[in-house]
Structure 1
Amino acid sequence: MHGLIGELLGTCVLIVIGTGAGAGIHLRGSYASGQAHDWFYVSFVWGIAVTMGVYVAASLGSLGHLNPAITIAYALFGLFPWNNVIPYLIGQFIGAFIGAAIVIIQFYPHFLVTKNEKNGNSVGIFATLPAIKNPLFNFFSEVIATFFFVLMLLNLGNFTQGLKPIIVGLVIFVIGAGLGTTTGFAINPARDWGPRLAYTILPVPHKGSSYWNYAWVPMVGPISGAVLATGLQVILK
């Protein structure tokens, strides 16, 4: 239960901060609106969001994965017990959904005045979409970004201790800045699917399509990349 609760609240913190920044820059009427093209800002906020999520999760007794790709890959190679996988995954997806729901409430008046996708009211606030739609290469982009993210993460050891969550945030920042501009760097199925589902089923004013036909990419790509990185790390050690 500690793992489930820690992952749930840690992932919730991650999504509230990350998607909150997305809502602020895309929706009309906020003080940050019009800054959607500042990619360093977006990448930096997601990095800090992960840092704070890891701190919260660790304080509540989880390992701060906040990401099904990490949980699954670590379990496959014996770095994480299988009996904890389901509680972690449940916590991650529920936490991501709740975080997105909180952001919808926070920005509800701004959804009301942002009338359509063209003006910024899109699922892109909550989930990832490709800059250029090419499913095969979009998949490769997520595999590559997640591979290098997890490879760096594995070499941090226990990344919940001391200042290491800050390093994790910086890793997210550099991955976003360096590799995230093609697909929005999901690198985390819960971070994408939980908010995408919230946008789909909750009463968001003037919402557009949720683009579930693309959603397999931020699910399969990060898991594949994490498995490849973890497998390589185990082989080399």
Structure 2
Amino acid sequence: MSSHDIFLGETIGTAVLILLGGGVCAAVTLKRSKALNAGWVAITFGWGFAVLTGAYLAGGVSGAHLNPAVTIGLAIEGGTKWSDVPLYLASEMLGAMIGAVLVWLVYYGQFQAHLTDPEVLAAHRTDGDEGMVDPKAAPKAGPVLGIFSTGPEIRNPIQNLMTEIIATVVLVLAILTQGLNDGGNGLGVLGALITSLVVVGIGLSLGGPTGYAINPVRDLGPRIVHALLPLPNKGGSDWSYAWIPVVGPLIGGALAAFIYKLF
């Protein structure tokens, strides 16, 4: 597998992953979208299909890691050369940022309508002492941040970190036990399908507390794009939380590899 293959496969595959995954979040969140309020089940299946599509595209080219936690897990397990890891990680980050920009382009009109809607702005402003909306208060972080990155329902760093670690262990163990990198053939058709269903299962079962990043670049790349895009009234990018969906999945991927090698 050449460096060219790794770069193209991981960049394109991860871009499509984020385009479709972020796209379902935008479809469910933004006003003037036909899928508005479709709910959590739509999001989990949307992300599952996003993984399936990205894996199909990149599987025969780069092995379709699409996730630094998977790359680290496969490197520890021995299926990926450590010398290739930096290129995998850089390509995955680039792809994630490209995918996030594409989500913005596809839903450009909906972003503008949503973020200039008085009702939406009022819902994300800081309440005054008497519970009334303060018109001078800045919007809270993330009127649309959830389209780009994850956030906890209860902000407890230890719980949030453990949730991401455990969910990522499940994902990477499921990948390692399929032998997806055997012989350099990459992610096979059946493996891609199984992995996408595992992602749906993780979302339905373990995604409630944090939104299940289970992939550092899935969260960090789009979060950077959110910070850079010229979105009106977009709020902050919640950088105080941003380390958890990066560190948690990386720990989870490494733990999964050690568990795999141990047993």
Shorter-chain TM range is: over 0.9
Q: Offset at 1:113? A: 1.2
Q: Which residue of 1 aligns with 2:149?
A: 127
Identical aligned residues as a percent: 42
Give RMSD over aligned pairs: 1.4
Deviation at 1:77, TM superposition (A): 3.7
The residue number in structure 2 matching 1:97 is 97
- Aligned runs of 1:200-211 on 2, under 5 Å? 200-211=227-238
Counterpart-to-counterpart distance in 1, 2:229 and 2:76: 35
Q: 2:262: which partner in 1?
A: 235
| Map of 1:53 onto structure 2 | 54
Q: Taking structure 1 as reference, are residues 121 and 106 closer, same or farther at Cα in structure 2, changes over 3 Å only?
A: farther
Partners of 1:215 and 1:7 in 2: CA distance: 23
For residue 222 of structure 2, what is the aligned residue in structure 1? Answer: 195
1:162 CA displacement: 2.6
Cα distance between partner residues in 2 of 1:229 and 1:166: 20
Contact 1:122 1:209 in 2 (8 A): no
Structure number with bigger Rg: 2
Q: Is the 8 A contact 1:71 1:85 kept in 2?
A: yes
Question: Is residue 68 from structure 1 mapped to residue 68 from structure 2 by the alignment?
Answer: yes
Shift of 1:180: 0.7
- 1:74 CA drift (Å): 2.0
How far off is 1:205 after superposition? 2.7
Q: For 1:15-52, what per-residue CA distance to the aligned partner results, in whole angstroms no more than 9, with x for missing partners?
A: 000000101111111101122xx222111110110011
Q: What is the SS of the residue equivalent to 1:17?
A: helix
Please name the residue that 1:143 is paired with.
165
Deviation digits for residues 130-180 of structure 1, max 9, x if unmatched? 011111100000001011111111111126113221111001000110111
Give the counterpart letter for 1:169 in structure 2.
Answer: S
| Paired residue secondary structure (1:114) | helix
Pair 1:110 & 2:104 matched: no
CA distance in 2, matches of 1:78, 1:6: 20
Deviation at 1:13, TM superposition (A): 0.5
What is the 5 A alignment of 1:153-172? Answer: 153-158=175-180, 160-172=187-199
1:163 match: secondary structure: helix
Deviation at 1:191, TM superposition (A): 0.4
* Structure 2 unmatched runs, 5+: 125-141, 181-185
The secondary structure found in structure 2 opposite 1:185 is: coil
Q: Is 1:215 aligned with 2:242?
A: yes
Structure 1 range deviating more: 111-120 or 151-160? 111-120
Structure 1 runs (4+) deviating above 3 angstroms are 116-121
The unaligned stretches of length 5 or more in structure 1 are: none
Residues in 2 aligned to 1:6 and 1:22: alpha-carbon distance in whole angstroms: 24
CA deviation map 1:50-83 (0-9, x unaligned): 0110111124x10100001111222234231011
The offset of 1:97, in angstroms, is 0.2
Counterpart-to-counterpart distance in 2, 1:91 and 1:28: 33
For 2:12 and 2:108, locate their aligned partners in 1 and report how far apart those are by CA, in whole Å.
22
Contact map agreement 2:74 2:176 (CA 8 A) in 1: no
Residue 205 of structure 2 aligns to which amino acid in structure 1?
G
Paired residue secondary structure (2:62): coil
Distance in 2 (alpha carbons) for counterparts of 1:76 and 1:161? 21
1:82 alignment partner in structure 2: 82
TM-score relative to the length of structure 1: 0.94
Equivalent residue in structure 1 for 2:251, among 189, 209, 224: 224
- Number of matched residues? 233
**Matches of 1:20 and 1:206 in 2, distance apart?**
20
